[in-house]
Structures are given as C-alpha cells and as structure tokens.
Amino acid sequence: MADVARARRLAKRIAQIVASALEREVKDPRLARVTITDAKVTPDLRDATLYYTVIGESVDAPPDVASAAAALESAKGVLRSLVGQQTGIRFTPTLTFAADTVPEAAKSMDELLARAREADAEVARLASGATFAGEADPYKSTDMDDDEEDLLDDDREEGADSADGGDAAARDAATKPRDGADSER
C-alpha cells in the first residue's frame, strides 16, 4: 500500500497533466471553459477523481455543465494515456470526473452573509430609536437616607439578639468553671 503523501503528489501531478492537456491537446470546443480545480487519488493509486468547474461565457449565460461532462467522458481515454506517459508509474489510475460544487456553495454562503448583514442593519436601525421599557436606571441605588440607615441598623441589632440568645448561654456555661472539677485538683 502506498503512502498518503505519494498519493497527494500523484494527484497534484495528474491535475497538472489533465489541465494542460485540456488546454493544448484535446480539441473539443465544449472543454474550452473547463477548469480542473482539484484531484484525489486513492491510497492504492488505482483510481483518480478529478474535480472540475465550467466557467460561463458571460455573467447572464449559465455554464453548460452537461455538455462539458459529456466531453470529458469522451476524452477520458486520451487523458488517461497522457497521464500514463507523463507520470511513468506502473499502473495508470482510472480517471473519474466530478463537477466541483465549491463555487455554488461559496455563492450561497455569500448570499446568506448578505442576508445576515441586512438583518443586523435592520436590528441596529430599530435599536437606535428604542427607549427603556422601565426606568432609565432599573437597579437599586446604594445611596440611603439617614432614616433608612437607622431602620436597617435597628433591624440588624434585633436579629442579632434573638439569634445569639441561645449561643450566648452556651458560651457562658462553657467558660464558667465547674464547682466539683476545681475542688478535686
């Protein structure tokens, strides 16, 4: 089994050979606007998949992908022979052509990003004229009047006396010496 690095190098070389052959050697007018974008070779170097895109003649006219696919299928034997001659490997891999979907995916992503920008602009526009639902400062202020502080201090003292009542008696009993324990020593 071949290593992955060798398969990558061979894929790159096959893409170069096929792209050059489409430009110079294959005289099919349907392949004039075909571009090889990527190539993958299986680790056993038996199969190669070539990804291609078809560029439209103008912005308004969509590319003719179906005729380009048919032209690539008809030129597959010639291209495989050229790959075998120029790579010099023992077994020439079979060639499979697949339309590259990356440009369409990139276009749809651009459209989604444009819609998101428009939605963000709309939210920013609505937020610019917005007002508070309640008070301008919904948080409680830490500034207290003197009367409020006195009431709060009184409440704290009353709570400390009632909560500390049981503990104070226990503390007094623990610190008070026992009568019988001191006399025996």
pTM flag (> 0.75): no
- pLDDT bracket for residue 114 (50, 70, 90): very high
pLDDT in tens, 21-78: 998 888 888 888 898 999 999 999 999 999 999 887 766 667 788 888 999 999 999 9
27 neighbors 96 (Cβ within 8 angstroms): no
Q: Which CATH number fits domain 4-100: 2.60.40.10, 3.30.70.980, 3.30.300.20, 3.90.1150.10?
A: 3.30.300.20
- 30 residue type, one letter: R
* Domain residue extents for the chain: 4-100
